[in-house]
Structure 1
Amino acid sequence: MANEAKSSTTAGSFESNQDKLSKPRYGVLIAKDVMVPMRDGVRLAADLYFPAIDGKAVEGRWPSVMQRTPYNKSDVHYGGHAEYFCKRGYVGIVMDCRGRFNSEGDYYHFIYEAEDGYDTCEWIGRQTWSDGRIGTFGVSYGSQVQSAMATQNPRNLAAMIPTEGPSNIYEYGLRHDGAFQLKFLTAGFWFGLMSQEARDNPAIRKALEGARMGDWLWRLPLKRGQSPLALIPNYESFVIDFMTRGDHEPFWDQPGFNIEAHYDEHSDVPTYLVCGWYDSWPRAMFIHFMELSRRKKGPIKILMGPWIHGDDTVELTYSGDVDFGPEASLQGNLAEHRNAWRLRWFDRWLKGIGNGVDEEPPVKMFVMGGGSGRRNAEGRLDHGGRWRDEYEWPLARTQYTNYYLHPDGTLSPQSPGSNGSPSGYLYDPNHPVPTISGSLSGLAEIVPMEAGVHGDPPPMTRLRNLAVQGAMHQAEYPGGFACKPPYLPLSARQDVLSFQTAPLEQNIEVTGPITVKLWASSSAPDTDFTAKLLDIYPSSDDYPDGYHMNITEGIVRARYRDRSGKAKLLEPGAVYPFEIILEPTSNLFQAGHRIRVDISSSNFPRFDINPNTGEPVGQHTHSVVAHNKIFHDSRRESHIVLPVIPE
């Protein structure tokens, strides 16, 4: 019998752990730009933060806490983390990844991180100040570098906190079941603006500063040699590789890209995974959790909040336009702040301090929902939620329940009749469904410097999102990318099919992995199918039109429908089964609300637009309108599988 879930009483509960944390007993002595040799002779720049007293490094051997980053180790953000741990008896290490900022070598997204991470661990272990125990943490790219390094099983690695990172960039990283995430195109541009080449050549910097991503996204596919990225060939190379290498090949199984292919070799060390329901990577992080828990002693744990992507977002109570209540923040609920939360993990496994973190349940997750539904003082929807501890994922008590898509637009556990006619729509690549908000990150452009602004603000401080991260009412709005007047709800579009339940008679909790199983056809040889799960609030004084809150979403590219990694075009008009895997979630749909599923064929600019032509991905010459149909009769029962948790 599975262990029973336990609701967490979070407010103030961390205070009993404060006395067991390492105290700030030391000053800090920094050694800047220490060049660490890799196996191929390239040297990577690291800043080392040594515990000190009266300005002198304290003699002895220390555990190390390391961050490796492509975003500039000299940023106060990274130095602040390193100083925090240094003052508490660790050597803090922050390293620029290969080809970035003060490190040597050429940069290519992710590809060198496994070997470079391993070589760095080996170097640390040989230093006279090292006690041979290394802990790592980092967010986003800083998560991927940890996992890639762990595939090499470095002997000095002792604990990890990977936060918000991918596990397999081909399957659901830079691609999602075939569709390309355009964040990896936009990131190529703003990574390029932060490159050594742009730093050293004002002309390159100026060209990239002038690149408006909003314009380039409408001009796809990107042509080699015909954009500002051509000025930085290695950056252009990885972007075009990512956009055009659609079929699976050995290239995608390199440890810098595909952690899943190397789980057997992966380090068996205590690992705490961190992510948010509205981050880009909950599916990937739960795969890490399940696979590492099955193969390793660990312990392996996971923390999943209602958060969006980012380091400091774990200390917020809201995502997008929706607030989840005072319990939602890590700060003040689970720990004093995020570094104190990390310190407890590192103290246990790098210093052997018995603080009880290893005895806690392996899953701590935030169940969204249960709020008042009113507009709060900050103008956000009060959706509410609470923390809960669990002992496995997916939850053993889950009741997987089919909700069927009916021809009349209803969604219910009852299967459709034998004579249900298909629902159809026209998908025009020139008029895609706009990404209002969602589980996204990095989909941003650099805001140009305003006249009269002095100094040189780092590009990372001038990023402007092209879509809202998190939850938001799903309607077009002024200023929204690809949004147009009269700014109606997405459900009013002819190319969005909406299926919703009657108002719920009782609360329904949905927690776990979610799939939509479609029977569909297209007039085109290739197209996309998207699915979105929404919590529909009824009309109220604060929201007279109700509130259509996005919970999770997914996409599949038709040519990759069988997940073999090899393109198989459609026979126009033929009916095929499709499975759309949505990001996992946890939400309480309250009585009086409706559960809705939206089906369409685009979600732009989160994903690239399928031109419907069947040409090689990322190389199309034109587009055509597709007539797509969804079938829901007794032989072809299109439905969503909801992981319902009994009360």
Structure 2
Amino acid sequence: MSLVVDKHVSVAMRDGTVLAADVYRTEGAEPCSTVLIRTPYSKDDPTHVNTWINVLRAAESGWAVVVQDVRGRFRSGGTFVPFAHEADDGADTIAWVREQPWSDGYVGMVGGSYVGITQWLAATRAPEGLLGIVPACTADDVTTGWMYEEQNLTFGFLAHWASVLVASSTNLSPEARARAATLVQDVTDNRYRTFDDLVEAAGDLAPYLPDWRDRSGKIAGPEAAGRVRVPALVIAGWFDIFGPGAVASYPRREAAGTRHPHDRLLAGPWAHGLTGGWFPGRTYGPAASFDALDPTRLQLGWFETLRDGGPVAADPVTVFVMGADEWRSFSAWPPQEARLVEVPLRVDGSRHALVSAEPVPTIGGRTFFPGYKVAANAGPRPQGPLGERDDVVALVSDPLPEDTDVLGGITCRLAVASDAPTMVVVKLSTADHDGDMVLLAEGSSRTANAGQGETISVDLGPTAMRLPRGTRLSLTVAASDFPRLEDGPRAGLSVLEQAPVLHLDVV
């Protein structure tokens, strides 16, 4: 078998802009189906290109693979504006693929993060020949899944991502490249505290940044999963920055009436950039690794099922249950057999969180910071230092009376009062016999009033975990979480006497 690699192939878009692509295919073969990867991170970077699927193995398996630089990045023409052109450019690229003599007219899209949302956006155009999409570790809604957690800007992610995009730009002058290097270092050193600081520092290096504050949906239409009818195999990580948005896209299709019988959901104990199932201080075993699932065969097999009219999976949802450290499959998400369990909480110490000189620091969780590829500050990290602060309120549960499998969502309901409208950050941890707290889930909301009590519900996101009998659940409540969230004005915060509770989906 001989493989042909056609480098830097020109692909014209509807407005005349020419994008560059590499085509991998078997020499002299009959027309075949195509895997399409559209990336802002360079089609010429083999480590990146092979993150989610082995390109050469796919070609050896009888598929053509097209890897394309998106508009304005690396070898492609035009101007890069995140999200703005991906729907039309994706549809135009699929149409181009179908016209090639080596194509049988069928196209499947794969890839993670921004490469994942290029799939959702292209699929909103319903291009002919699109078999299905495999968006990995991404969210289908730019506003609620990328820019914001509830009403709070996901500052740490946006700052690091913007610095990565700027630093990897290929058309910078020497002066601009020096400014880009300064931006990267300042983001790494947490010198910017607010999004306005970041916008001012980036300036014309990232002219699209101001639009990221917009919540109207003009950047890209909202909730693409509810507007897409092609099948989707969604891949998510419990500790991924896009985890909640990725998982939400699966039931969202059911609610919108766009659910396809071949839709699937796969979620594991992964962070953004790290899918090995291990973190400093915690490993979930070799079976937890994404590579252990043979992802190339998994994705190609799913596409072949779609193309060839194969059977629908009886249990299309597969999740890794942390604590039990095993994979389990279900017919729906949350599982149909899940029941809502209420866990009462009590304040452990002072009810009042004071205003400190520095914000409460982010320790692990769903983050995207420098060093993310080795989970430098991500995942299930000990939260002990937070308990020593006077700007944090601690809550704790009684020991659980039995082993508890939490599979679905987690919500914390509590009554709070603040000196001024402020964010409310809730982090859920286990509390072991030594008092150590290891992070399980997190979320945030905002108070609307000043000086009076109000009841809020904080969504801590989806998960799958086993909590052994006797486990105590510990929560911290604070008015900041930096650099994960923007360090805006902070206010004193009190948890009121009305009993706070956790709501868990339990199987």
Q: TM-score scaled by structure 2?
A: 0.92
Question: Per the alignment, do residues 629 and 72 of structure 1 end up closer, same or farther by CA in structure 2, a change over 3 Å counting?
Answer: same
Answering whether residue 149 of structure 2 is matched by residue 195 of structure 1, we say no
- How far did 1:598 drift? 1.5
- How far did 1:402 drift? 2.2
Question: Per the alignment, do residues 61 and 171 of structure 1 end up closer, same or farther by CA in structure 2, a change over 3 Å counting?
Answer: same
Root mean square deviation of aligned Cα: 2.3
Partner-residue secondary structure (3-state), 1:307: strand
- How far did 1:215 drift? 4.1
Pick from 430, 444, 448 the counterpart of residue 370 of structure 2.
Answer: 444
2:262 is matched with 299
Give yes or no for contact 1:320–1:468 (8 Å, CA) kept in 2: no
Partner-residue secondary structure (3-state), 2:329: strand
Partner-residue secondary structure (3-state), 2:239: coil
Answering whether residue 119 of structure 2 is matched by residue 151 of structure 1, we say no
Answering whether residue 52 of structure 2 is matched by residue 88 of structure 1, we say no
Residue type matched to 1:492 in 2? E
- How far did 1:405 drift? 3.2
Partner-residue secondary structure (3-state), 1:306: strand
Q: C-alpha deviations, 1:510-536, integer Å up to 9, x for none?
A: 221111122222111x21001111122
Aligned-partner Cα distance in 2 for 1:241–1:179? 15
Aligned-partner Cα distance in 2 for 1:387–1:464? 24
Aligned-partner Cα distance in 1 for 2:338–2:49? 44
2:317 is matched with 363
1:374 is matched with none
2:145 is matched with 172
Partner-residue secondary structure (3-state), 2:61: coil
Answering whether residue 68 of structure 2 is matched by residue 68 of structure 1, we say no
Gaps of 5+ in 2: none
Aligned-partner Cα distance in 1 for 2:134–2:503? 31
Q: TM-score scaled by structure 1?
A: 0.73
Answering whether residue 427 of structure 2 is matched by residue 532 of structure 1, we say yes
Answering whether residue 219 of structure 2 is matched by residue 323 of structure 1, we say no
Question: Per the alignment, do residues 224 and 520 of structure 1 end up closer, same or farther by CA in structure 2, a change over 3 Å counting?
Answer: closer
Question: Per the alignment, do residues 391 and 538 of structure 1 end up closer, same or farther by CA in structure 2, a change over 3 Å counting?
Answer: same
Partner-residue secondary structure (3-state), 1:427: coil
Gaps of 5+ in 1: 1-25, 53-57, 371-384, 410-421, 446-462, 476-488, 540-545, 560-569, 613-625
Query: What is the 5 A alignment of 1:214-225?
Result: 214-215=188-189, 217-223=191-197
Q: C-alpha deviations, 1:368-427, integer Å up to 9, x for none?
A: 114xxxxxxxxxxxxxx1111111111222221222333456xxxxxxxxxxxx922113
In percent, how many aligned pairs have the same letter? 27
Residue type matched to 1:287 in 2? A
Q: C-alpha deviations, 1:33-72, integer Å up to 9, x for none?
A: 11111111111111111212xxxxx153110001010000
1:469 is matched with 378
Question: Per the alignment, do residues 66 and 320 of structure 1 end up closer, same or farther by CA in structure 2, a change over 3 Å counting?
Answer: farther
Aligned-partner Cα distance in 1 for 2:190–2:437? 30
- How far did 1:221 drift? 4.8
Answering whether residue 277 of structure 2 is matched by residue 277 of structure 1, we say no
Pick from 630, 635, 638 the counterpart of residue 495 of structure 2.
Answer: 630
Partner-residue secondary structure (3-state), 1:242: helix
Query: What is the 5 A alignment of 1:445-460?
Result: none
1:431 is matched with 358
Residue type matched to 1:632 in 2? E
Query: What is the 5 A alignment of 1:126-525?
Result: 126-182=99-155, 183-198=157-172, 201-211=173-183, 212=185, 213-215=187-189, 217-223=191-197, 226-227=200-201, 229-232=202-205, 235=206, 237-243=207-213, 245=214, 248-252=215-219, 254-255=220-221, 258-260=222-224, 263-264=226-227, 266-269=228-231, 271-293=232-254, 294-310=257-273, 313-314=274-275, 316-332=276-292, 334=293, 337-350=294-307, 352=308, 358-370=312-324, 385-408=325-348, 423-428=351-356, 430-441=357-368, 443-444=369-370, 468-475=377-384, 489-524=385-420
- How far did 1:226 drift? 4.4
Q: C-alpha deviations, 1:436-469, integer Å up to 9, x for none?
A: 100122x228xxxxxxxxxxxxxxxxx7889512
Give yes or no for contact 1:535–1:596 (8 Å, CA) kept in 2: yes
Partner-residue secondary structure (3-state), 1:34: strand
Partner-residue secondary structure (3-state), 1:108: coil
Aligned-partner Cα distance in 2 for 1:306–1:192? 30
Give yes or no for contact 1:152–1:267 (8 Å, CA) kept in 2: no
Residue type matched to 2:505 in 1? P
Query: What is the 5 A alignment of 1:542-621?
Result: 546-559=435-448, 570=449, 572-612=450-490
Q: C-alpha deviations, 1:571-620, integer Å up to 9, x for none?
A: x20222222111111111112321112211111111111214xxxxxxxx
Which protein shows a greater Rg? Answer: 1
- How far did 1:432 drift? 1.0
Give yes or no for contact 1:532–1:597 (8 Å, CA) kept in 2: yes
1:379 is matched with none
Aligned-partner Cα distance in 1 for 2:180–2:61? 42
Q: C-alpha deviations, 1:11-47, integer Å up to 9, x for none?
A: xxxxxxxxxxxxxxx3221111111111111111111
Question: Per the alignment, do residues 466 and 108 of structure 1 end up closer, same or farther by CA in structure 2, a change over 3 Å counting?
Answer: farther
User: How many residues align structurally?
Assistant: 499
Question: Per the alignment, do residues 404 and 345 of structure 1 end up closer, same or farther by CA in structure 2, a change over 3 Å counting?
Answer: same
Q: C-alpha deviations, 1:328-375, integer Å up to 9, x for none?
A: 12434x3xx32232222233234x285x6x4351111111114xxxxx
Aligned-partner Cα distance in 2 for 1:576–1:146? 41
Residue type matched to 2:22 in 1? D
Aligned-partner Cα distance in 2 for 1:642–1:79? 38
Aligned-partner Cα distance in 2 for 1:317–1:214? 25
Aligned-partner Cα distance in 2 for 1:521–1:89? 62
1:452 is matched with none
Question: Per the alignment, do residues 359 and 405 of structure 1 end up closer, same or farther by CA in structure 2, a change over 3 Å counting?
Answer: closer
Aligned-partner Cα distance in 2 for 1:596–1:292? 34
